[in-house]
Amino acid sequence: MYISNYRRRNEAVFLVFFIFLLLCIGRLFYIQFFRSSHLASLANKQHNQLVELEPRRGAIYDCNLKMQAFNMSLDSLYAVPNSIKDKESVIDKLMPILGTDRAYLKDRLYRSKAFIWLARKLTPEKSEAIKKSNIKGLGFMKETKRIYPNSYLASHIIGFSGMDNVGLEGAERDFNQYLSGMPGWAIFLRDARLKKLDIWEKMVLPVDGLDLVLTVDEVIQYVAERELDKAFKSSRAKSASVIVMDPHTGRILAMASRPTYDLNSRSGVSKDSMRNRAICDLFEPGSVFKIVTASAALEEKKVTEEDVFFCENGAYRVGGRILHDHQSHGNLTFRQVIEESSNIGTVKVAMLLGPDTVYRYLKSFGFGSKLGFDLSGEISGMIRPVRQWSKTSITAIPIGQEVGVTALQLASAISVIANGGQLMKPYIVDSVRDNQGQIIKQNKPTLIRKVISLDTAMRIKKILTGVVEEGTGRMAKVSGFSAAGKTGTAQKLEPNGAYSHTKFVASFIGFAPAEDPLLAIVVTVDEPRGSYFGGVVAAPVFKNIAGDVIRYLKGNEMPVEGLAQ
């Protein structure tokens, strides 16, 4: 009996162990054949860390290879929340260093994650303070931050990139495909505590971005912005813009708008301040538009410089409206009509040409269509076809009413006169280069079309020189150099469609030196207060820019403060 019970107990124990063994073998088979890939993946995630390798974003240079934008390597702070035990203590230590509130840090650290960003691209001082705290569960990763050494200078041209080095405005956005490069990646080994080891299994190196070289000259840009800023503030204007162009090639040497913003500190900056007004603001040009009517009249041989026009003593009833001059004139030669900016004389010249011819020259000078500028945001302006003209349009369009233009179009148009009759495509990017200086893409001067003959251009040039010497543009005279140009004072439209008697756009377009132009300059000031005439508000800006820049280009460089060296 005793032996029989003993044997049954042994068999029962054996059976239990045998069944347990079968279960273990079954479990092993299940793990090996059905769960092996999943468990291997978990092991890889624990011991391997995939890290994206950031490429160097290309730098942006001016035409003399002075750096306008570059990347600086900075520490970014991350946390491993799952490995942090005393989270409240960590929050107390980080709050005064990072300058963030408790709610933000608590939200990040109490997440059940193996990786989370706490702060990106820290200043060296903050990074060093956190490192000294020696907090477990925190780590640093190198990232680059975009730096703009001249802050406000050329902000509307350069634009900016975001936290992840993707271009968001200006050249940074439009040429992001060249600047950004291609990221790489590496798989780093980690120990049991998830600490990254300086050992990598696999690696694909990043491809650095290409560099961008602008046509802008840093010194000319500084001078243009300095003078524009003075006029903008002194006239308490709504906005303002300036363009400095090489009239022979279409290269933009400077372009600026007001209001402006600091590229390094963009918090609270409105979208309105970021607009590049020189290419995207539409306005009626006023009397600066008379250069088209004058050029057409000479090119079509409808007038000569000494032909006389009676200017009706300042008031002329035509086409159901009364046209006024800002000053009463009797008989004026064609040359004097332009020099004194007579609306009545200009309209009489336009009537000799006829609507079709006026329209053809407007289009030929580049108005009413995009010029193919290499920054986005350029608009085409507004020139209505002749079939949409009213009976009074021939008395308005030739003097710069019932049309919409941009400052860039005006710069190209005055360059036609300065360079002998050719409309050149304006451009602001000189080249794209690699970090060894090899040119990948090169922009060159491009002729859009021949607009007027060299003879006509020379004759208009003499008339516009007279505008500065004897006419409405006397405040644009450049000390030591000759200059040519045209003033403009345009009434703005009110919401009801009537022309305002209190809101104006003051402008001046010109070039210097008159006999052999180095610069074409356009200045526009929107809604100046107090004096509002283009010859008073905008012409002095032209004068100061042209004088300093010509001396600079001729080798007599003036001291310039505030630029990164």
pLDDT digits 0-9 by tens, 63-116? 999 999 998 877 888 888 877 888 888 888 888 888 888 888 888 888 877 778
Q: Is the pLDDT of residue 314 over 80?
A: yes
Q: 301: which residues sit within 8 A by CB, 6+ positions away?
A: none
Cβ(506)–Cβ(489) below 8 Å = yes
Structural domain includes residue 187: no
Which residue pairs, CB below 8 angstroms and at least 24 apart, start in 300-307? 300/353, 300/357, 302/349, 302/352, 302/353, 303/334, 303/349, 303/352, 304/334, 305/333, 305/334, 305/335, 305/459, 305/462, 305/463, 306/333, 306/334, 306/335, 307/333, 307/334
Q: 151-207, pLDDT tens digit by residue? A: 999 999 999 998 788 899 999 999 999 999 887 766 655 555 555 544 455 666 778
Where do the DSSP E strands lie in 494-559?
A: 499-512, 519-526
Between CA 514 and CA 507 the distance in angstroms is: 19
- The predicted-structure confidence for 34-71, as pLDDT tens digits, reads as follows 666 665 555 555 555 556 667 889 999 999 999 999 98
pLDDT digit string, tens, across residues 448-466: 999 999 999 999 999 999 9
Task: Kindly state whether residue 51 falls inside one of the protein's structural domains.
Answer: no
CA distance 538 to 543: 9
462 found inside a domain: yes
Does residue 366 fall inside a structural domain? Answer: yes
How is residue 145 written in tokens? 């931050």
**How many domains, in total, are found in the chain?**
1
What is the structure's pLDDT at 427?
A: 97
- Going by C-alpha positions, the residue among 82, 80, 63, 60 that lies closest to residue 71 is 60
Report residue 62 CA to chain centroid gap.
Answer: 14
3-state SS class at 484: strand
* Residue 379, domain member (yes or no): yes
Selected residue with higher pLDDT from 183 and 249: 249
16: in domain: no
Query: Which of the residue ranges 181-195, 257-271, 411-425, 507-521 would you say has the lowest mean pLDDT?
Result: 181-195
The residue-averaged pLDDT of 529-553 equals 95
Range name among 92-101, 217-226, 515-524 with the lowest pLDDT average:
92-101
Segment 334-381, tens digit of pLDDT: 999 999 999 999 999 999 999 999 999 999 999 999 999 999 999 999
Task: For strands 196-204 and 211-214, give the pairing.
Answer: unpaired
pLDDT at residue 187, rounded to an integer: 64
What's the rounded Cα separation, in Å, for the pair 286 and 207? 51
In this predicted structure, which of 94-103, 417-426, 555-564 has the lowest mean pLDDT? Answer: 555-564
pLDDT above 80 for 559: no
Catalytically annotated residues: 287
Q: Is the pLDDT of residue 260 over 60?
A: yes
Percentage, residues of the chain above pLDDT 90? 62
User: Residue 468: is its pLDDT beyond 60?
Assistant: yes
Q: Which residue in this structure is represented by tokens 């009706």?
A: 312
pLDDT at 433 (0 to 100): 95
Averaged over 471-487, what is the pLDDT?
A: 94
Pairing between strand 211-214 and 60-61?
Answer: parallel
Query: Sorting pLDDT into bands at 50, 70 and 90, what band is 2?
Result: low
Contact 284, 403 (CB under 8 A): yes
Closest CA to 328 of 345, 311, 346, 313: 313
Question: Is 119 a member of any domain?
Answer: no
Instruction: Determine the pLDDT at residue 118.
Output: 83
Domain assignment present for 523 = yes
Task: Using only the alpha carbons of the chain, give its radius of gyration.
Answer: 35
**pLDDT exceeds 50 at position 284:** yes
For residue 479, give its domain range.
Answer: 218-553
- Identify the CATH number of the domain in which residue 234 sits: 3.40.710.10
pTM across the whole model: 0.83
Opening angle at CA 338, ends 332 and 343, nearest 5: 80
- 3-class secondary-structure state, position 395: helix
- Tens digits of residue pLDDT in 7-43: 777 777 777 777 877 777 777 766 666 666 665 555 5
Predicted pLDDT at 123: 82
Q: How far apart are CA 72 and CA 145, in angstroms?
A: 5
The pLDDT of residue 565: 43
292 Cβ contact partners less than 8 Å away, ≥ 6 residues apart: 358, 361, 362, 365, 367, 398, 413
What value does the mean pLDDT of the chain take? 88
